[in-house]
Amino acid sequence: MQRNPHYSKIEVFRQSPSFAHLGEEVLNELADISTQLRFSKGKFIFFEGDPPLEVLYIVREGKVKLFKESHSGKIHTFSIAHYGDTLHGIVLFTGQPCWISAQAMDEVTLLCLGKNAFLSFVTRHPGILMKIVEILGNQINTTHTRLMEFVSEDVQQRLLNVLSMLFAKFGATLFFTNEELAELAGTTTETTIRIIGRLKKSGIIDTRRGEVRILDSVRLNDLSNNFIMI
C-alpha cells in the first residue's frame, strides 16, 4: 500500500484544534495547499508592528514564543505555541499589524497556508470558519487573562499559574530555563530562581539545568487555584 505523500502534514492538521474536526479528504486538500518553513533557534518568525500576515502558520515541530517587549526592554511572554497550534491567526482576518512577536525557542518547522489560498479553501468549506473564529476567540480570551495576571496578581501567583499552564500543555517534564519562565510570569530571573527554590524545597517540583519536573501536580494546581504563600 502506497503511503500518502501528505501524511505527515495531515497528522499536524489533525492535531490542530482549528482543523481536527475535518474529514480525511478535506485534510488532504489542506495539505495540498500548504508549504513548509524552518527556523533555527532564536530566529524571529514575525515582529510586533510588522504588516498584516499574508500566511497562516501552524507549528509542525518545536516551540514558538509569542511575546511583547516593553519600552524598557522587558519581555512579556503571552503563550508558547507547539505542535498543531496556529500563530497569531487573528491578524490574517483583521488586516491589522502584528501586535506581538514570534520567536523560535528551538528548531522550528511551520506549515504555511497562504492567505489567498486559505480564504479560497474557507469559501469552499464555510463550516470551518466558525471553528476558527471560536479558536481565535479563545486565544484572545487567554491573552486577556494573561494581561490581567501581569497587572493584578502577585509574582508568586503568576509563576504558579505559568507552571500549571505548562504542565497542562506539555506534561510533567518542562524544558524551560529560569529566564523563559520569568518572561512567562512577567518578572525577573532572580525572583523566579527564588520562587523555584521554594517550590523545590516544598517537594512540588525538581529542577535540572534548563528543565523543571512537576512532582506533585495536584498540589501545584491547588496552589495555583487557591493562592497560598509558601
Identity of the residue numbered 101? S
Q: Which of 23, 35, 27, 32 is nearest to 10 (CA)?
A: 27
Say if CB 67 and CB 78 are below 8 A apart. Answer: yes
> 44-46 and 101-104: which strand pairing?
antiparallel
Neighbours of 126 (CB within 10 A): 8
pLDDT for res 117? 92
pLDDT for res 2? 39
Give me the half-sphere count of Cα atoms (radius 13 Å) on the Cβ side of residue 46.
21
For the CA atoms of 64, 173, 185, 37, what is the dihedral angle to 10 degrees? 0
E-assigned strand segments in the chain: 34-39, 44-46, 55-61, 64-69, 75-81, 101-104, 108-114, 173-174, 205-208, 211-214
Dist CA 75 CA 78 (whole Å): 10
Query: Can you give the pLDDT of all 230 residues of the chain as single tens digits?
Result: 334 545 589 999 998 888 888 888 999 999 999 999 999 999 999 999 999 889 999 999 999 999 988 777 778 888 899 999 989 777 777 888 998 899 999 999 999 999 999 989 988 888 777 777 777 777 666 666 666 665 556 888 889 989 998 999 999 999 999 999 998 888 899 999 999 999 999 999 999 999 999 999 999 988 877 654 44
pLDDT for res 3? 45
- Model confidence, pTM: 0.79
